[in-house]
Amino acid sequence: MVPFKEHFLKPESAPFKSATSLQKVIRAGGKHNDLDNVGYTSRHHTFFEMLGNFSFGRYDKAQAIKYAWDFLRNELEMPVDRLRVTVLNSDKESYDIWKNVIGLPEDRIIPLTEEDNFWSMGDGEGPCGPCSEIFWDTRDMDASDDERWLEVWNLVFMQNFRHADGTLSSLPTLCIDTGMGLERMARVLQSKQNTFQIDQFQTLVGGIRDLLKSENLPNTNDEDPSVHEKIIADHLRSMSFMIGDGIIPSNVGRGYVLRRIIRRALRSGRQLGFKEPFLTRLYPYLTANFGTEWYPELSARAETIQNIIQSEETIFFATLEKGLGLLESVFEQPKLQNQKEIPAETAFKLYDTYGFPLDLTVIIAAERGWHVDLQEVEKLQDKQRSQGRESWKGGDNLAKGRLSEWRNQQIFPEFTGYDHSLLHQESQIVAVDVDTKAKTPQVLLSIDPCPFYGMGGGQVPDAGSITLANGQEWDVVDVFQPYEGGLAMRIQPKTNTTFSQQLLQDEEFLKVGNLVKTNVDVRLRQGAEIHHTATHLLNAGLRRILQADVVQAGSAVEPARLRFDFTYGKPVSSKQLQQIEDWINEVALTDAKTKTRHFPLQKAIDAGAIAVFSEKYSDLVRVVEVPEVTKELCGGTHVTSLRQLYPFKIVSESSVAAGTRRIEAIAGPACIEWYRNEYRFIPPVLNAVRANSSSELGPKVDKLSTQLRDTQRQLSHVTDKLAQADPGLPVLSTLYKDHKVKVHQIDASLDGGFMLQRANYLKEHQNEDIHVLVSNHTVMVAVNPKSVRDVTAQNVSLTL
């Protein structure tokens, strides 16, 4: 299990030697992706609940296998003759335990290759090891092996570490990581053919069928749900839990996975006959099963979850109509009729530009007897992904790859930047990486202790400088975490000399073991601290005023501003924004003090501390609290006194995505500077409207606006009359196809609207003639087609 990754590497640091868990799991992206299988197999889900037991050096393989076997045989009373196990073919120890300790016959112990029985955390480096899986025989003789044999428990023996180059080394302590799917075990114990027939799904599938009946759509009472019923039931669970945990639909990362899940469910709904949004109507059936004792967040955040789903549904059905129209135009193209293939570029554009699901394009094409070259589409997607990766990876990710060896060398510097008295201190260089091949050559450095902040959480890293032992200063231009527990600084020469010249001069003083003096930019740090604490108060203020369980969806904390994204289904009103702003200013003026303490993660959560879903937390967490005001898990830096936040001003509130709002705000000295800049515009405006003070500004502007509207109405009335007045003699007249052609000159000071009005008037009142209207460089031809049948021009406009 990924959350225990650090304990597998350093079991002595774990707060417990063994553990059991029940965790929510989304399996719809990355290495473990079951999305496309859902609905078509008897066991796959994008969301499921995983039971597990773990050891961090407390027990060995033999005990782990005994625990599993005892639980299945004695607690769940599963018959031995329907159980089989697999082991890694090179793991003789596990094979011998199953054979000699448990007593399983050899024909029930199947050795397999690493492809099947070696577990790792994705393709990157990290703890890994052989596994032994336990299978249940469904005795479905007509099914494939994959469907007949149901994996119910996976025992992973964390005994190796996979390095970046793919090589393996042994971990000093064996750890155990096991996983049992709750839905699969329920299927076995309830004697069901598939996991969609278990009690947990009955309410949800029943809700889908109730909705189909209410819409007079085809439905069934079969015990086994249809493919599309399965997809909707599974995906509604996934999307609800994901949104409840703070994930928002988007076109990148987890947000994209969520959006794909929602749209796949909607596509299945369309296949069942739904023509308009329907998922939110099923939500009460979901909360009836999950939203009470076990997962109260589904009920507490019901409004937000449903609003976001509703927005995505509305977008999808609008997208669907547009996409279907574009597909129809493709089907009608004569040059494509022979090969009956939708061009890969078209399928990709439908998906990339309009959000039209690729699998829906394939289905619609198949219904017409057409096909899509999915390999070519995949190439286009790969090209776009690679371009995207190049654009966002940047130096940090490249540097993190270069510095992965620092972790193996146990480079874990102490961060001392919470204490302002240590922002200027003496530190020692513990790691160095010189990168002369980067676009901008740089030195990557780690010092211990390190007062420079660079640990994320939305807060910008510190800036400043270090002074080498020879007295030479280098600027600290970036600080980041190359791995958990690591801190790296990107430094560049402060002088005007070239990088290579300065590096040559200072190389001896940039080696491991040398001492440096640190100089954190205090002004930038204080600005970031003010806005970080203000972000916590804004989060609390939103919850307080909106009376909603607002979920943070992102933030940016800078020295002169803050940005806070949160889940909320509608705009925050001006009145509510003012109430939030007033409350924060009132709290700031109390001069309350912030407190920071460390707690075990679960204890902090139980005590009411707010956690951010996108953040990863260790077992011991830092809690930043203003008593009776706010309490959050946070590793960032903060002010000690709230008085530093005053004044606080919300600058803007806007939408950034369906169900996601964004507030931008400023506090403290940055806010004072903002007010000063705003005030500079007031005196000229007061002068212009002849007001004596800003209090008169509103009424004066209202009065001027009213006068302007009245003047515009009067002008429009006069223009209408003028356009319908006798045009007089034309400036030029001739004949064309027996029709008089009259050329009229229009005063250039009159707008184009007048010219069009005059043209329409002439068409109606001098309808036997052809009229050419000229104004400055614009020519307009007016012809009444009922009277002048052999001339086709009508209101033709030409700019000369």
Tokens linked to 60: 């060995």
Q: Reduced to 3 states, what is the DSSP secondary structure of residue 260? A: helix
Spatial neighbors of 443 by CB under 8 A, at least 6 apart, are: 432, 433, 434, 435, 474, 490, 491, 492, 503, 510
Which residues are bridge partners to 48 per DSSP? 25
The DSSP 8-state label assigned to residue 592 in this structure reads P
Tokens linked to 786: 């009922």
Q: Are 555 and 528 contacting, i.e. CB atoms less than 8 angstroms apart?
A: no
Q: Is 228 annotated as a binding residue?
A: no
Provide the CB-side half-sphere exposure for 166 (13 A, CA).
0
Q: Are 331 and 596 contacting, i.e. CB atoms less than 8 angstroms apart?
A: no
**Distance (Å, rounded) from C-alpha 494 to C-alpha 468?**
12
CB atoms within 10 A of CB 598: 9
φ/ψ bin of 659: left (φ > 0), alpha (ψ from -120 to 50), beta (otherwise): left
Residue 225 phi, psi dihedral angles, 5° rounding: -65, 155
Tokens linked to 555: 């933030």
**Distance (Å, rounded) from C-alpha 475 to C-alpha 453?**
15
**Distance (Å, rounded) from C-alpha 250 to C-alpha 658?**
9
Q: Is 536 annotated as a binding residue?
A: yes
Q: Is 771 annotated as a binding residue?
A: no
**Distance (Å, rounded) from C-alpha 241 to C-alpha 295?**
9
**Distance (Å, rounded) from C-alpha 718 to C-alpha 714?**
6
Residue 707 to residues 99, 508, 633, 696, 763: CA-CA distances in angstroms? 96, 76, 56, 17, 35
Q: Considering just the CA atoms, what is the radius of gyration of the chain in Å?
A: 35
Q: Is 671 annotated as a binding residue?
A: no
Q: Reduced to 3 states, what is the DSSP secondary structure of residue 726? A: coil
Bind-site residues for Zn(2+): 532, 536, 634, 638
Residues annotated in a binding site: 532, 536, 634, 638
